[in-house]
Amino acid sequence: MNGRKAINIDLNPMAVFMVKSLVAVVKQSDLAKAFEEVKLEYISKEPETQEDIERILKKCPGPKKIPLPKGARGIDTADKLFSPIQTAKLALLKAIIKKQKNDDIRNSLLLMFSGMVTKVNLTYHTSSYVKSEHGGGPAVFRYYGYRIAPFPTNVNFVKSLELRYKYVSAAKKEMEYFVNNRTIHNLQNIKGTAVDLSFISDESVDYIYTDPPYGKKILYLDLSVMWCAWLDLEVSEKDYEQEAIEGGSHRKSKNDYKNLIAQSIKEMYRVLKFDRWLSFVFAHKDPEFWHLIIDTAERCGFEYVGAVPQKNGQPSFKKWKNPHTVLSGQLIINFHKVKNPKTILKANLGMDISDIIMQTIEGIIAKNNGATLEQINDELIIKGLELGFLDLLKKRYSDLTPFLCESFDYDKETKIFSIRKNTKFQTHIDLNLRIKYYLISYLRRMEREKKTPGFDDIVLAIMPLLKNGITPEKQTILSVLEDIGQRVGKACWKIKQEGQLLMNLTT
């Protein structure tokens, strides 16, 4: 929390529970002791026979029979997502955890328990591309719906329990410097929605990061039922009315979704201070939602500053199945609240889509001194959304790989595409960016050949490649060279070391 006050707001009671449990301040030694107590008691009572299962189910409450959304296949209530043995094991574990007297310890262990619900259910599908005992996930993570696995997995319960505890303990250890008894009062964790921020004063917030639902892509309240049923979390009719989604069990319309998102943006504009920032997560394939966010934000008075891709670590199941049409991660759209905001100029492309694509690819290659397929894909998606040609991009280039291999050099080891040796950029790229790209490429080649060229050698090597636009003066080349290179003796140059070069490329 870094000394600041923070407010977490989420309509989903599961999300509020997770934050509450994660920030619960505990001593690692106390948590470890409590976990060992819980684990040993569970092992001593773990059900093995039908008689054991029946005895536990009579004594320990199982999941609530919360109705599932109509899209669920062949099952109508949450309790049917678990076999009798799974229900007995989870019910026993929960009952043992609930005996812990310290609220923060108990909540921390219930967070661990929620992870066990994720693993121990009939919808758990093993992964076809993560080959390990713990590879896979429940249907809601994979298919965004409830679907019984064709071959349900019986995980090692105690081993999984130990692993879940390890994750919770590590997360708390990582946070304890920032979230502790001295700082916890600076956090408000609220079940609510950005549509109504009436408890926050006008122009009182320094920064907002929001990750809203996207249309009918993920129906968060419906998909949280499996966990809410075990954790005794209530979802009211009012919650469903306020959820910004399209479709779902309450069949909300696209207009319902648009209106709720628009109201949320207006409220966020009201509470944010001037000259401060709003970061808006965008994770949808439909450009209509992009324009809804941008247009609404601009009408409120925000200035669009740009969008950057953010990786999520392991690629999603959809990214894995559609590597060339799905963004690797998500986009963060950044807005600035200023007195006189500029709006995005609606693009009249005035040029062939192929030229725009080539210019975008060459731009990202020049910026990064080479680019991976993912980096190129992400940049094209951002440009396609901003300029309104994403649909044309997907029609013409469902797979960019053949086009890239035909037009650029590819390094199989680094998986990086680059401009072909001794060729020029085909489109207009900022002069300094072109100079930087060719200088880095040339100096790296000289380094491999164990040569330290002089300034005149450098100019003679790269000048012919720069003549597809304004031809630079030697002084311009020298100023860029001083950023990315270092002198050797009086007249020669070599490329800076990776750490130094990275600092210069990012400034």
DSSP bridge partners of 247 = 252
Phi, psi dihedrals of residue 502, rounded to the nearest 5°? -60, -45
Output the pTM of the full model: 0.71
CA 142 to chain centre: 16
CATH 1.10.10 domain range(s) in the chain: 430-507
Query: Residue 174 CB: number of other CB atoms within 10 A?
Result: 10
Secondary-structure percent of the chain, ordered helix, strand, coil, rounded to 5:
50, 15, 35
Q: What is the pLDDT of residue 313?
A: 54
DSSP bridge partners of 190 = 9
202, HSE (Cβ side, Cα atoms, 13 Å): 0
- Distance set, CA 366 to CA 377, 424, 425 (Å): 15, 12, 9
Phi, psi dihedrals of residue 114, rounded to the nearest 5°? -60, -35
Q: What contacts 268, CB < 8 A, 6 or more positions away?
A: 194, 197, 208, 210, 278
pLDDT truncated to tens, each residue of the chain (507 aa)? Answer: 467 899 999 999 999 999 999 999 999 999 999 999 999 999 999 999 999 999 999 999 999 999 887 766 678 899 999 999 999 999 999 999 999 999 999 999 999 999 999 999 988 877 554 445 556 677 667 766 777 888 777 889 999 999 999 999 999 999 999 999 999 999 999 999 999 999 999 999 999 999 887 656 667 788 888 999 999 998 888 887 777 766 665 677 778 888 888 899 999 999 999 999 999 988 766 667 787 888 889 999 999 888 887 766 554 444 444 444 445 567 899 999 998 887 665 444 455 677 778 888 888 888 888 998 888 888 888 877 776 676 667 666 667 778 888 889 999 889 999 988 777 777 766 777 778 877 887 888 888 788 999 988 888 888 766 655 455 666 788 888 988 898 998 889 998 875 544 444 444
Using CA atoms, how far apart are residues 97 and 82, in angstroms rounded to an integer? 20
Of the candidates 394, 269, 226, which has an alpha carbon nearest to the alpha carbon of residue 324? 394
37, HSE (Cβ side, Cα atoms, 13 Å): 16
Using CA atoms, how far apart are residues 388 and 165, in angstroms rounded to an integer? 47
Give me the CATH topology for the region 188-337. Answer: Rossmann fold (3.40.50)
Give me the CATH topology for the region 430-507. Answer: Arc Repressor Mutant, subunit A (1.10.10)
Q: What is the pLDDT of residue 502?
A: 44
Amino acid letter for position 409: D
CATH 3.40.50.150 domain range(s) in the chain: 188-337
Collapsed DSSP state (helix, strand, coil) of residue 486: strand
Collapsed DSSP state (helix, strand, coil) of residue 243: coil
Of the candidates 281, 380, 372, 290, which has an alpha carbon nearest to the alpha carbon of residue 326? 380
CA 95 to chain centre: 34
Contact predicate 68/146, CB 8 Å = yes
Encoded tokens for 7: 């407010």
Contact predicate 124/153, CB 8 Å = yes
Contact predicate 470/482, CB 8 Å = no
Phi, psi dihedrals of residue 217, rounded to the nearest 5°? -65, -50
Q: What is the pLDDT of residue 158?
A: 96
Q: What contacts 403, CB < 8 A, 6 or more positions away?
A: 397
Collapsed DSSP state (helix, strand, coil) of residue 328: coil
